[in-house]
A and B are shown apart, each in its own frame.
Chain A
Amino acid sequence: MSVTASQSVVFARMGDPEAHTIDRYVATGGYEGLRRALSMKPEDIEAATTASTLTGRGGAGFATGQKWSLLADAYPRYVVVNGDESEPGTFKDRQLMERDPHQVIEGALITAYAVRATRVFLYVRGEMALAQERIGQALVDAYAKGYVGSNIMGSGWSIDVVLHWGAGAYVVGEETALLESLEGKRAFPRIKPPFYPAAKGLYYQPTIVNNVETVSTLPWILRHSGEEYAALGAGRSTGTRIMCVSGHVKNPGNYEVEAGNITFRDLIYAPELGGGIRDGHTIKAFVPGGGSAPWLFEDHLDLTLDPGPVAAEGTMLGSGAVVVMDDSTCMVRAAWNLVRFYSHESCGQCTPCREGGNWMEKIMWRIENGAGRMEDLDLLLDVGQTISPGSFPHASNKATGLEATPWPYRMTTICFVGPSAVVPMHSALTRFRDEFVAHIEQGSCPVGAHA
């Protein structure tokens, strides 16, 4: 199997070990996008971004140009770059910040100029020491060379960039929690409405929160054109995006692909991409878009990486993290591991997430360790119903004729962290109920090997 090589947009400098230095960056076309932007009217940049069909790469996939157009007419207004990448299976933003930090800064500046922001904040996840070091050095150098600060590149436009290191909480990836954290408060996601930080964001001022990968795409779009970017890919998955492939594949790593042109089978099995399942094993399940995305299975390998058909199969492309589990994986334990993550990362603000996630984790731990009861299976689903009422999204099953329940879910929680704990439990239990039953009947884990 082979796929057509994708255009390199955001990952163009990945092979260059010196790309993080300002000299190397400038030598490879760096800050040209910004120079171009500063010669344009802000509204033309917004138009180009809208024309590019670029969507947010943090997970929600909101159209970037449209997000900018929602900004309330008030000042000061801010641009916040969300570098708190923590979604299980996702490691693209870290690589972008570590290896091409200037591209992040340049993208942020273009965004700020386009939306007439008065200040830029770069929020970098607390655990990413190298990314912090590189971003910090890059910013110092960019200030020194006049790319940031006063009268940028002689354009008369000035702006400052503020760095902020996170304190180590997954929930900060949720943009309103990030804003609270940036304000120096406990990172509790805000209650919606107001739905968009564009209306009321940082300090309740209009704010654009964009993902690292999203802003990193902008210099290329400015150097080329929105239309050129939109021509990449296909369907609703235009442009390129970075897919993080991990798990039981031969070549785990980040791959920039024109997602609309390839399928999950391409991504996982193509030699220049995932390279296939490790020898002697077959695929059992895979997470298609980060830990919060309901699982897909062998039946679904031929789905194109396009939000439409993926949603119809009850899941999402999310943050672009594909985690592959082969036949050696215990589904109970794998699901428990993810539930444990979301339970641990619950901020504790709302009841269903705080208590429900923790309860599910405890039940699944009991089942995995042979102390489960048959009634626990329906109990798990019922606890899930308290967090996320109504029919919960899941994929179809060819073998049983089970039809898919399309994405998205409903929730009783303030943010998506609560339902995200339901996702792995529900996916595993819907598809592999027999494996759960086997744990209970056998009084121990029948698989033995662990993900």
Chain B
Amino acid sequence: MTDTAPAKTTFTITVDGKEIEALPGELLIAAAERGGTYIPRFCYHPRMRPVGMCRMCLVEVVGPRGPQLQPSCMIPVADGMVVDTESPTVKKAQDGMLELLLVNHPLDCPVCDKGGECPLQDQTLAFGPGESRFVEEKRHWEKPIDLSSLVALDRERCIQCDRCTRFADEVAGDPLIEFMGRGAYTEVNTFPDDPFASYFSGNTVQLCPVGALTAKPYRFKARPWDLDQVESTCTSCSVGCRMAVQSSNDRVVRLLGVDVDPVNHGWLCDKGRFDFEASNSDDRLTMPLVRTGDTLTESSWGVALAKVTEALSGAKDRHGAGSIAVLGGARLTNEDAYAWSKLARTVLGTDHVDAQLGDGLPAEVVLGLPRATIDEACSADLLVLLTGDLKEELPILYLRVRGAVQDQGLRVLEISPVETGMTRYAAASVRAVPGELASAVGHDTAKALLQGAGKVVCVLGRQSVAESADAVMDAAAALLEAVPGVTFLSGLRRANVHGALDMGLAPGVLPGRISLADGREWVGSTWGELPAEPGLDAHGILTAAAEGKLQGLVLLGADPLADFPDRDLARRALAGAGTVIAIDAFLTASSRQADVVLPAAIAGEKAGSTTNLEGRVSRLNQKITPPGTARADWMIAAELASRLGGDLGFESVAHITDEIAAVAPAYVGITSAALLSSAGFDGLLTGGLHDAHHEGPPSMGRGEAVEVDAVAAHGDNPTVEVRDSSPAPDQPDPSAGSEPHGDESSTAEAEAILAGGEGDHVEAVQKSAEAGESVATRPNRPAVLRSTPTVTRRAVPAVDGYSLRLVASHKLYDDGTLVQHSPSLAPLAPGSVVRVNPADLERLGVTAGDSVRVTSSRTALTLTTQADLGVPRGVAHLAFDQPGPGAADLIDAAAPVTDVRLETI
């Protein structure tokens, strides 16, 4: 935010007699830090506007009237500036400020969660006086008070640095906490009856330089010096925020955002930050379960796997490979997904695989559209949102886009059936009629914005699972027609859905974004024989199962009864499938009906890599051991393969990562070594981006080779070192000494890795060769998919005068497994409430808040109504996947749209 694109020239400034280079526009405090001089601070934060409030960073700057004390967080560098950070005057000011900050700060460090990692504590030690001369009574407040159900505030500890309040206002756009009172009795608080109900409240806890703000999931759980941490990537949604996973006694106790410039800028949403609670849940599966009659009973891996082997080989032998399907995989790491993709295609021989659950978009389109990164979306001339509510589905992308609108003047065109969290930031928000999204693209307002816009980026996702994905395809096609140069950022929300699709967990595609047809020879040379024809997608798999055509159905962390838009079909499918094998961390509605349940490890318990919505691969590190006998999905795949008479040939996660780099064309160069390199810290962009998309496969002979060994040596230890050079480690920044990269530089680094891909590739292939393959006999690597949306122009029936058209979209907190097993988050799911325009409610004679009967072609439910002007007339909105009966019961996945009638009871 405060970093602007560095100009070519640099300034030279003198700090404590040492000349350092500074960038024009850079703040003195940041320039000095880069030059090796840490100036103490509390209110300054590089991702927020400086306010110069704490006065801790005062230094002497030589001016026309001699040295003057100046707040270094407010002073942009000037060429030739001479600065003293250690003069007696500066020392006196630092001493004085710290003594003043401690005047009213309780010295309860031994019982304070922040003790041991507290910037106030650390800077007092480094810069402050040895003891206080304050003998009076300190200020008292009731302690602590709840700002929200997640965050508590101890106002006695607060030093009024304005970080939390600034974050809430500037970054999150939820100005729900503010300074109140004045002077020494200034307090941070919420407004009456208006809690700090922000999806981003946890960031304020991380930003707090003292122990004033505490997050309830961590409060009193551990002492900082008992924590051990690794750097990893959040997999709660597909944005892929970098974070530090901290554990104590082999339990994850806290997640902290890590600042990477291309993705999350250090922020996490509350779901991503707190859903680790689920990993500690008592409901975790620790042993395999095998069905005997009506009950699932704990069993051994040997017995369970034997049962799975028997079922799958029996199905294949008696009914053919086409009688087996694998559903799910978005929870998996890339390595897990690759293993399952390989297992399904080779050992099982089926192409009926789909990581999406009918809630996404056709895989070949997701994989094959011209791509854009988050940075490109934020720097576009026009950003088109043809996706679900970013705030609800991809919260940190929402923060990035919102920030770009606020600070860089990004213009947003939103096309959505209902108002969203982005609506107030959009230059225009066009209401689309559900099922007829494409015509909204041609709306005059949209056309006016699209015409003449230079660089246009579109976030493409699924706005409502109550309308068919065909409508989105038509809209994307219409957009491509209107703006041929448009690039796309996927808006699919499921954790590693992009990695799973990239690994081929979708019918008709193989690892690395190639089609089954194009990649048959190339992948086949490593994998062996592949299925002849493209298989079924989730809807097809469930339909086949319901029709009794599937003998073996594997649920890879999938819960179709909760997540598939059409619960009736899912119910019939689970009943109609032969043997249902669930691999999951919890018993879900679906896995309760399985014949065998195998316990899986989840985030934090396994290593590997994950791919975010822009195609950025970043590493996942293991911090704790999985509970009981739970294990990583790739191990289960490898074990099953061997029991089924095959051999996936995997030895370790790194081995799979390197095989992906060798086999998957879009993943050239993304080796385990590259991921561990310093360039890999921000994640590595997969190929097929930018111009490379139109020039065929990336990295073919471009650039020069990188020293893979060197980066490997640098990064061979996956454990994060906590940066301790800074006395204010409130931003855990595992890349020692790293600064936020400029967009260009990080992209350039990633591209350097990709450009060196040929070198990596050769090396990776050589590794494969050691495993028994021959480089010489390998066929040419196929180009990554290029596709355009299939235009269906599917006829949408007119809504009759008595009905409302249903829109079903996700809320951040839902009935998802992790949310529901996180005690702090589960109560936040809003439930199924029908939101209707007040004019429609009046027309129907329904009082807002009343219960109504909601009837679709599938069933009738009793739900509560809510008047909402953000819902246009003629539309009814339901949050999808909320606890209890809801939208999924009403939707017929085969129909283009879902119409419902509301009747008073």
Residues in chain A within 8 A of chain B (CB atoms): 169, 171, 186, 191, 343-352, 354-359, 362-363, 366, 375, 379, 382-383, 385-386, 389-390, 410, 412-414
Contacts and interface: CB of A to CB of B under 8 A. Distances in A.
Contacts of B183: 343-348, 354, 357-358
B96 A348 contact: no
A389 B182 contact: no
17 contacts: A343-B184, A344-B182, A346-B184, A350-B53, A350-B54, A350-B55, A351-B101, A351-B159, A352-B96, A355-B103, A356-B96, A358-B104, A358-B183, A386-B96, A410-B69, A412-B58, A414-B53
A326 B901 CA distance: 85
Contacts of B56: 351
Interface string B48-71: 000111111010000000001101
Interface in B36-56: 51-56
Task: Pick from A344, A362, A386, A410 the residue with the most CB of B within 10 Å.
Answer: A386
Determine chain A's interface SS by DSSP, over half rule. Answer: helix
Given A343-B184, A358-B183, A413-B55, 14 more contacts: A171-B182, A352-B96, A354-B183, A355-B103, A358-B103, A363-B136, A379-B133, A385-B92, A386-B92, A386-B95, A390-B89, A410-B69, A412-B69, A414-B52
A351 B100 contact: yes
Contacts of A354: 100, 160, 183-184, 186
A385 B96 contact: yes
Nearest to B184: A358
B80 interface: no
B74 interface: yes
A355 B104 contact: yes
Interface in B169-196: 178-179, 181-186
A186 B99 contact: no
Contacts of A379: 133
B555 to A, nearest CB: 54
A383 B134 CA distance: 11
B750 interface: no
Contact of A351 (B53, B136, B179, B185): B53
Contact of B182 (A345, A382, A385, A386): A345
B662 interface: no
B101 A389 contact: no
B581 to A, nearest CB: 60
Interface in B805-829: none
A239 to B, nearest CB: 30
Contact of B71 (A186, A191, A357, A366): A191
A169 to B, nearest CB: 7
Contacts of A383: 96, 100
Given A363-B136, A386-B99, A412-B55, A348 B184 contact: yes
A111 B852 CA distance: 64
A427 to B, nearest CB: 21
Contacts of A169: 182
B184 A355 contact: yes
A343 B95 CA distance: 21
Contacts of A171: 182
Task: Pick from A343, A357, A383 the residue with the most CB of B within 10 Å.
Answer: A383
A315 to B, nearest CB: 21
A348 B97 contact: no
A347 B89 CA distance: 25
A352 B97 contact: yes
Interface in B94-152: 95-97, 99-101, 103-104, 133-134, 136
A383 B129 CA distance: 13
Contacts of A375: 133
Nearest to A186: B179
A325 to B, nearest CB: 25
B598 interface: no
Contacts, number: 102
Contacts of B89: 389-390
A349 B183 CA distance: 8
B383 interface: no
A346 B93 contact: no
Nearest to B162: A349
B130 to A, nearest CB: 15
A346 B179 CA distance: 13
A223 B182 CA distance: 44
B74 A386 contact: no
B182 A412 contact: no
Nearest to B165: A186
Contacts of A358: 103-104, 183-184
Contacts of B93: 386, 389, 412
Contacts of A390: 89
Contacts of B159: 351
Contacts of B51: 191
A326 B160 CA distance: 41
A356 B68 CA distance: 21
A345 B181 CA distance: 10
A354 B161 CA distance: 12
Contacts of A191: 51-52, 71, 74
Task: Pick from A169, A362, A379, A410 the residue with the most CB of B within 10 Å.
Answer: A362
A109 to B, nearest CB: 34
Given A169-B182, A347-B182, A355 B100 contact: yes
B136 A386 contact: no
Nearest to A346: B183
A276 B56 CA distance: 48
Interface string B71-96: 10010000000000000010011011
A121 B95 CA distance: 42
Nearest to B161: A351
Contacts of B185: 348
Contacts of B71: 191
A351 B69 contact: no
A435 to B, nearest CB: 22
A350 B52 CA distance: 8
Task: Pick from A171, A343, A358, A366 the residue with the most CB of B within 10 Å.
Answer: A358
Q: 8 closest pairs, A vs B, by CB? A: A386-B96, A348-B186, A358-B184, A355-B100, A346-B183, A362-B136, A191-B52, A355-B103
Contact of B100 (A186, A345, A356, A366): A356
A376 to B, nearest CB: 9
A366 B137 CA distance: 12
Contacts of B100: 351-352, 354-356, 359, 383, 386
A410 B68 CA distance: 9
B54 A351 contact: yes
A367 B496 CA distance: 67
A312 B159 CA distance: 38
A189 to B, nearest CB: 11
A348 B182 contact: yes
Contacts of B179: 186, 348
Contacts of A351: 53-56, 97, 100-101, 159-160
Contacts of B181: 348
Nearest to B99: A386
A186 B97 CA distance: 23
A349 B53 contact: yes
A346 B133 CA distance: 22
Nearest to B68: A410
Nearest to A378: B133
Interface in B329-354: none
Contacts of A382: 96
A415 B136 CA distance: 26
A362 B181 CA distance: 19
A351 to B, nearest CB: 5
Contacts of A366: 136
A390 B66 CA distance: 13
B508 to A, nearest CB: 56
A206 B831 CA distance: 51
B90 to A, nearest CB: 10
B127 to A, nearest CB: 13
B852 to A, nearest CB: 41
Contacts of A362: 136
